Amino acid sequence: MIDKEWLSLLTLILAVIAIIYMVTVGLIYLILFLIASSRIKKERFLNQEEYVEELTSNKDTFPVSVLIPAYNEEVGIYTTVRSMLGLNYPQYEIIVIDDGSKDNTSGKVIEEFKMTEIDVALRKYFNTKDVIKAYQSTVHPNIFLLRKENGGKADALNAGINFSRYPYFAAVDGDCILDHDALLKVMKPIIDSNGLVTVTGGTVRIANGSTITRSQVEKIALPKGPIVLMQIIEYFRAFLIGRLGLSRLNILLIISGAFGVFEKKRVVKVGGYNTKTVGEDMELIVRMHRSIKEEKSNQRVEYIQDPVCWTEAPDNAAVLRSQRKRWQRGLAETIWLHKKMLFNPKYKGIGLFSMPYYLIVELLSAVFELVGYVVIMSGLLFSFVSLDIVIVMFIVTVFYGSLLSSLAVLLEEWTYHKYPDTKSLIVLFFWALTESFWYRPLMVWWRFSGLIQSLTKKADWGNMKRKGISTD
């Protein structure tokens, strides 16, 4: 009897903690939404073509090296490189880094772009696994291929930086397609700020369902599978609320590995990508922030809501699970590596808000939410807590997920309004409402497993089997 009372009290305490946690997180997200929405509202009707027109003919537009690390990407690599050829940008080079692929990634690039071998006098900013051979296209002299021994994505990017010629580099995943003006738009803040912006990242959108022909997005449409649909909503929320909100406060710690532009000088200064983590994209940004704050520099890391990089999302639970576990491990490793920054006033907003936010909200939310679900279940099954508490927790959970997802759909419509019909909006809205009932619990469980795994696994590419997003 006493045991049951104790258990009931413990469940009640856990329930209250979970409710406070969820309400706080919900409020933080609402505040970020308000910060992000003011920027999106400001630029809602802006003529985007006119906005970047000056840069297309401007000789001061910095040249950029586009780095495409690839491991077993024979299905998508040609499409990706071809989409880069269509970029509206005055001067750039494309460097594909084949990180010891076991498939025909290199062969495909060599054949499609008619490449021949070149000798390289490599500059070594960083030590990487050996570059075996280098190639240059005979058709497009600014496409290069480096074939190197396998060392992971971070090592491949470091080798690409060593080889690159230009002062800025864009890191783009081997399975992505960039919009025609994406590079211009992402470089604009760097050029306009006269170098004060050191890193910029663009929005990544899910290509499943849309029609992409010859590496150009022709028609944007929704996929049919609920797993991909939910990821689309999730991406809107993560980018348009989370990243934009944090970026406006200059405390953004993630620039998506799929598409970001970096000032080479700053990356070299901080030592390049860390080869010992799966979250090398986030880890680099944290290190850059650290160096900026330690130097008392006023440089910024900015997220730009418009430039779009299209990628293929996992369309089945097994692949999505391994992706999310990997992300969680990357996050955990980064926070662990930079634990000294946590709650450290020396790093201002990064130490006092951003790092704790990523620890408590992004990393540990899986634990808190899992507790919440257990409390709801046990409350209902064994009457450990009152029905009122269970209902409150249920409402808070729904509020946390569904309303914010719906708001993200609103921001998407304000930013891109690219879905050609009202039906797509209603479909997105409907699925946003269902999030709390199936997708979120799944995520919580996978992220929790990822957290556990972060203590054991070593770094890897974690690739998924690609189907390819563009047709000829």
**What are the residues binding another protein (CB under 8 A)?**
42-47, 50-51, 53-54, 58-60, 63, 85, 87, 90-94, 117-121, 123, 136, 138, 140-143, 191-192, 194, 388, 391-392, 395, 398-399, 402-403, 406-407, 409-410, 413, 417, 420-422, 425-426, 429, 433
CB nearer to another protein: pick between 90 and 462: 90
**Element housing 99 (H / E):** strand 92-99
| Least distance between another protein and beta carbon 307 (Å) | 16
| Least distance between another protein and beta carbon 30 (Å) | 11
| Least distance between another protein and beta carbon 31 (Å) | 17
Q: Sign of the C-alpha dihedral, residues 215, 217, 197, 335?
A: negative
**DSSP track, 343-374:** T-GGGHHIIIIIHHHIIIIIITHHHHHHHHHH
CB 326 within 8 A of CB 278: yes
| Least distance between another protein and beta carbon 414 (Å) | 9
**Element housing 433 (H / E):** helix 422-434
**Which residues, in sequence order, are CB contacts of 35 under 8 Å at separation 6+?**
244, 245, 248, 249
Rounded Cα distance, 419 and 423, in Å: 9
CB nearer to another protein: pick between 58 and 213: 58
| Least distance between another protein and beta carbon 346 (Å) | 29
CB 69 within 8 A of CB 280: no
298's tokens = 């006023």
CB nearer to another protein: pick between 195 and 223: 195
Q: Is 116 helix (H, G, I), strand (E, B) or coil?
A: strand
| Least distance between another protein and beta carbon 2 (Å) | 27
| Least distance between another protein and beta carbon 415 (Å) | 12
| Least distance between another protein and beta carbon 69 (Å) | 19
Q: Which amino acid is at 73?
A: E
CB nearer to another protein: pick between 279 and 379: 379
| Least distance between another protein and beta carbon 44 (Å) | 6
CB nearer to another protein: pick between 422 and 456: 422
Rounded Cα distance, 255 and 304, in Å: 10
Q: What is the DSSP letter of 125?
A: S
CB nearer to another protein: pick between 59 and 296: 59
Q: Which amino acid is at 220?
A: I
CB nearer to another protein: pick between 135 and 461: 135
CB nearer to another protein: pick between 51 and 353: 51
CB nearer to another protein: pick between 166 and 445: 166
Q: Which residue has the tokens 């996929």?
A: 223
- Quick one: which of 171, 233, 200, 153 has its CA closest to 426? 233
Classify residue 399 as exposed, middle or buried by CB count within 10 Å of its CB (0-12, 13-18, 19+): middle
Q: Rg of the Cα trace of the chain?
A: 23
Q: Which residue has the tokens 């802006």?
A: 46
Q: What is the DSSP letter of 436?
A: G
User: What backbone phi and psi angles, to 5 degrees, belong to 305?
Assistant: -75, -20
CB nearer to another protein: pick between 277 and 305: 305
| Least distance between another protein and beta carbon 295 (Å) | 21
- Quick one: which of 349, 393, 340, 387 has its CA closest to 370? 393
In the sheet that holds 197-206, the strands lie side by side as: 115-118, 131-137, 143-148, 92-99, 64-70, 168-172, 259-263, 197-206, 300-311, 177-178
Q: Which amino acid is at 144?
A: F
CB nearer to another protein: pick between 173 and 412: 412
Can you count the helices (H) and strands (E) in the chain? 18, 12
| Least distance between another protein and beta carbon 267 (Å) | 17
CB nearer to another protein: pick between 283 and 412: 412
User: What backbone phi and psi angles, to 5 degrees, belong to 125?
Assistant: -75, -35
